[in-house]
Chain A
Amino acid sequence: MSQTATRSWTQVQTGTKTKSSIPEGLWLRCPGCSQMIYRKQMEANLSVCPECGHHFRISASTRVEQLIDTGTFERLFANVESNDPLKFKDLKSYRDRLLAEQIKSGQTDAIIAGVGFIKGRQVALACMDLSFMMGSMGSVVGEVLTRTIEHATEHNLPLVIVSCSGGARMQESGLSLMQMAKSSAALARFDDAGGVYISVLTDPTTGGVTASYAMLGDVIIAEPEALIGFAGPRVIRQTIRQDLPEGFQRSEFLLECGMVDQVVPRHDMRNQIARLVDYAGG
């Protein structure tokens, strides 16, 4: 998505320096309430500010730990890696960018997928990782997602996808765009087979990811105050030449617009997913 990619990439450029997720140090200032909070306490609180409830961004592996019953996660499709099909080069080559991101994050791309249990209910789960190239979707993310959806279809498992992404990955151009169609087509088959898909939207979910699988959940759950949209706020401001209303494109705004089913705090996420899985079972 041209618009949101603009936003995402600006964040990637600065994000590595300012660490849009959690800055290092024993203490940190919460962007929600400006209080100094003790990192360990915040992390023990599922990376939610104990003072104001601000939800800090978390990695895909932390997300899996938080959602899945301890010791039950079996990772799948971890061996799929990017090819740099276009030999893409801007001010920096995609190859170098990928390598730097891989070293920084210890991940091969922006997604972790597998099967595991949530409060004893088996699910297929895919979590996107914002720290890897702003969680952008290229061939690898698209392929891993599609395999996860196909796995869920084949094994008759409920599907949970946790999204956070700046959108489609520019460095794979049209091939990234095609991942939107590919994953959505796989969801059509999953739906035909009667599968239940719970989509969890976290901060931020924008662009081509929102405009494909993220908005296709049978039930769509958002974390509080997550930025969720198609176009990024900056591009919208430039286009319409006026200020955007307070809270625009945040989870609560989407709830008001009828675009998400629930806004669920992180502490209650496992409960809500487990509950929905039970209802889906008839």
Chain B
Amino acid sequence: MGTFYTLEFEKPLVELENRIREAEQGVSAPGAPIGVEGVEESAASSAELEDLNRQHAKLLEELYTDLNPWDTVRVSRHPNRPQTWDYIEHFVRDFGELHGDRRYGDDPAIITGFGRIGNHKCLVVGHHKGRTTQERIACHFGCAHPEGYRKALLKMKLAEKFGTPIVTFVDTPGAYPGLEAERRGQAEAIAVNLREMARIKVPILSIVIGEGGSGGALGIAVADRVAMLRNSWYSVISPEGCAAILWKQANEQTNRSAADALNLTARDNIKLGIIDAVVEEPLGGAHRDPDGASDLLRDWIISQLDELKAKSAEELVEGRYERFRNLGSFHETTPEPSESASTDA
């Protein structure tokens, strides 16, 4: 916990944590006086410690129950939050990374490879932001280039050929906006993924594990089932981007307003039908308990793969089409005789 990064809204927790640490020292201090008095003192400290721990748990629950959208965005970007590589290390056994798009290069911002989750062989595809500074720069902070999206598709086609399900982890602020990315066809790369993922004949599961930023996220998230971790966000634009445009400037207050307006939390997205499930995180967020978060995510993935693998290729592709086909909210002023497909969200 030495380098633990503290979010603004978590400051009261840190205060409590410091007091707990002090109390702990009091309880377990070496060479504490032995004797009647000492024992009493120690007992008093344990009671105090227990009380502090109770307060801490209570505060944690208060802070993290119904976390507001902007603070959720901050938790989703927490530097200690587990990333694709962390999940792979935690629950993908026998993982073998596959590199490159066979066209231009190998983008480290998207990881692909085969491995086993529970009893299921699968292809894992995920954005990676990078854990060290050096890695973060190489990964462009999780912003993939066209070759990343093309690598993802190439390996997904391979998974289709192998009859292996696909699991994708979404964690990107957005696809990289750069000169070379444009030159090499960023838009085309994402577009082709959307079309091709729609007709891949093996099960696809996608989980937004941190940031689900726009087309760069969707580019690996056209799936049979889409889930979000409790403290992730998924939207057409980041709150800062939206604030800068619609509120004319991005600052603490407008970012907060934009985050509210964008309906970007897991709770919002499930209401809109954009996702199918919310995967819970341990109380206080995945960054506090990466192992606990990994276990919850692994269990959800296994349960979904058990179900999806029972479906035929036709059922899968048909179901995936209908899933996305029905998304949208509109009405028809003069109903056409054929059908009314209005979905009021």
Chain A interface residues (CB < 8 Å from chain B) = 1-3, 5-6, 9-10, 79-83, 85-86, 88-91, 108, 139-140, 142-143, 146, 168-170, 172-182, 184-189, 191-192, 207-208, 210-216, 229-232, 235-236, 239-240, 242, 244-245, 248-249, 257-259
Asked if A175 meets B214 with Cβ closer than 8 Å, knowing A86-B261, A187-B195, A211-B187, the reply is no
Chain B residues bordering chain A, tally (CB within 8 A):
67
What 10 A-B pairs come out closest when comparing CB atoms?
A: A231-B177, A85-B329, A139-B328, A185-B198, A184-B194, A2-B241, A90-B246, A210-B187, A230-B187, A178-B327
What residues of chain B lie closer than 8 Å to A83, measured between beta carbons? 329-331, 344-345
Contact of B182 among A168, A174, A188, A236 (CB under 8 A): A236
What residues of chain A lie closer than 8 Å to B192, measured between beta carbons? 215-216
Check B236 against A248 for contact (C-beta < 8 Å): no
Taking A2-B237, A173-B237 as known contacts, 10 extra A-B pairs with beta carbons closer than 8 A to each other, sorted by chain A number, are: A1-B236, A83-B344, A86-B261, A139-B329, A170-B246, A177-B274, A180-B194, A185-B198, A215-B185, A230-B190
CA of A173 to CA of B212, assembled, Å: 12
Q: Which of A178, A188, A235, A258 has the most CB of B within 10 A?
A: A178
CA of A82 to CA of B175, assembled, Å: 28
CA of A117 to CA of B51, assembled, Å: 79
What residues of chain A lie closer than 8 Å to B333, measured between beta carbons? 79, 81, 108
Q: Which of A142, A169, A182 has the most CB of B within 10 A?
A: A182
CA of A175 to CA of B235, assembled, Å: 9
> In the complex, which residue of chain B has the Cβ closest to the Cβ of A206?
B187
Q: B213 to nearest A CB, angstroms? A: 7
Check B186 against A211 for contact (C-beta < 8 Å): yes
28 contacting pairs across A/B (C-beta < 8 A): A2-B213, A2-B237, A6-B241, A6-B245, A80-B330, A81-B332, A89-B261, A91-B246, A140-B328, A140-B330, A143-B328, A169-B236, A170-B236, A173-B235, A174-B234, A174-B269, A177-B235, A178-B218, A179-B328, A185-B199, A188-B199, A211-B186, A214-B191, A229-B186, A230-B175, A230-B181, A239-B176, A240-B178
Q: With an 8 A cutoff between CB atoms, is B94 at the interface? A: no
Chain B interface residues (CB < 8 Å from chain A) = 174-179, 181-188, 190-192, 194-196, 198-199, 213-215, 218-219, 222, 234-238, 241-242, 244-248, 257-258, 261-264, 268-269, 272, 274, 320-321, 324-325, 327-336, 341, 344-345
Check A85 against B218 for contact (C-beta < 8 Å): no
Check B182 against A231 for contact (C-beta < 8 Å): yes
What residues of chain B lie closer than 8 Å to A182, measured between beta carbons? 324-325, 327-328
What residues of chain B lie closer than 8 Å to A91, measured between beta carbons? 246-248
Asked if A189 meets B321 with Cβ closer than 8 Å, knowing A5-B237, A170-B236, the reply is yes
Contact of A211 among B215, B234, B237 (CB under 8 A): B215
Q: A136 to nearest B CB, angstroms? A: 10
CA of A154 to CA of B345, assembled, Å: 28
Contact of B238 among A2, A86, A242, A259 (CB under 8 A): A2
